[in-house]
Amino acid sequence: MKKIRINSIDSPLELACRDEGAGQPVIFLHAFPLSQQMWNEQAAALSQTNRVITFDWRGFGESELRGDRFAMDLLAEDLAGLMNEIGIDRAVVCGLSMGGYAAFAFYRKYADRVKALILADTRAGADNEEGKRARLEMAELALQSGASAVADRMIHRLLAPVTLQNKPAIAERVRAIIAGNRPETIAAAQRGMAERPDSTELLATISCPTLIIVGSDDALTSPNEAEKMRDQISDAGLVVISEAGHLSNLEQPDDFNRAVANFLKQL
């Protein structure tokens, strides 16, 4: 793990980053409220054939916290700043859930830096008023009761029932990653996501090869949402991972890695 000092739009800051393997670069954008640790299995497998970059978004994991509202545009600027520092002009960008929201923001501004997109367990639409309220409530929960309370609130929606029942080690790992985050970071990310713009109209403008992945039992961003995205992006394929929920890459890493590896081979 390296600490990379980047220039972003607010000020310079240090992001914790892992950079392994060689070949076509693939950058993985982690979900809320996790960290780059969620990509361990992808980094291990896919760095055999590609340069694989994972990093902690600002404030998450071991990255420096700056600001109290992480707009998706700000995260996109952090990603651009990181790519500049590690010498990557163009990459395959793979975002899961919040990582996908940030990937949309990045594509909106830097389409020429995206060789291909992988959109996993994410959606293009913005939040409705109820969804925004729920985010601000969770920001309060984090600040009042800590990150473990957020883990308790979210774990049943992040993982499929079959994972919770048969793979307790995965649930423990997810809880530990969430509990390791700062409450202020969780609150700042929720405030930023609440304000994210609707990216539905962006979908028709995406011209790079795109792979959409979704867990069959994803309770947060459903296979139905994934199909809608596939239908609106001109060069998109869809892989549904069975016996997986929202964190499909953690719940079924072999299936997830196979889908990504097959996609990368065709680029």
Binding residues for ligand MLT, per CB under 6 A?
31-32, 97-98, 193, 220, 246
- We find the least distance from the C-beta atom of residue 98 to ligand MLT, in angstroms, to be 3
The residue with tokens 């993982």 is: 159
Q: Is 155 exposed, middle or buried (0-12, 13-18, 19+ CB in 10 A)?
A: middle
Output 218 or 255, the one with its CB closest to ligand MLT.
218
Q: How far apart are CA 52 and CA 88, in angstroms?
A: 11
* Least distance from ligand MLT to the Cβ atom of residue 24, Å: 25
Q: Closer to ligand MLT by CB, 59 or 209: give it.
A: 59
Q: C-beta of 101: minimal distance to ligand MLT in Å?
A: 7
Cβ burial 253-263 (10 Å sphere, 16+ → b, else e): bebbbebbeeb
Q: Strands of 189-266 (E only): list them.
A: 210-215, 236-241
Cα–Cα nearest to 3, from 52, 59, 64, 53: 64
In whole angstroms, give the CA distance from residue 245 to residue 216.
6
- Min separation Cβ 7 and ligand MLT, Å: 25
SS (H, E, C) 62-118: CCCCCCCCCCHHHHHHHHHHHHHHHCCCCEEEEEECHHHHHHHHHHHHHHHHEEEEE
User: Could you tell me the smallest distance in angstroms from the CB atom of residue 32 to ligand MLT?
Assistant: 3
Least distance in angstroms from the C-beta of 39 to ligand MLT: 13
Closer by beta carbon to ligand MLT, 86 or else 120: 120
The answer to whether residues 15 and 60 touch, using CB atoms and an 8 Å cutoff, is no
Q: Is-contact 241 163, C-beta < 8 A?
A: no
Q: Give the nearer residue to ligand MLT in terms of CB position, either 42 or 47.
A: 42
Whichever of 31 and 264 has its CB closer to ligand MLT, that residue is: 31
Closest CB to ligand MLT among residues 194, 238: 194
Closer CB to ligand MLT, residue 50 or residue 163?
Answer: 163
What's the CA gap between 94 and 166, in Å, rounded?
Answer: 27
CB of 267 to ligand MLT, least distance (A): 25
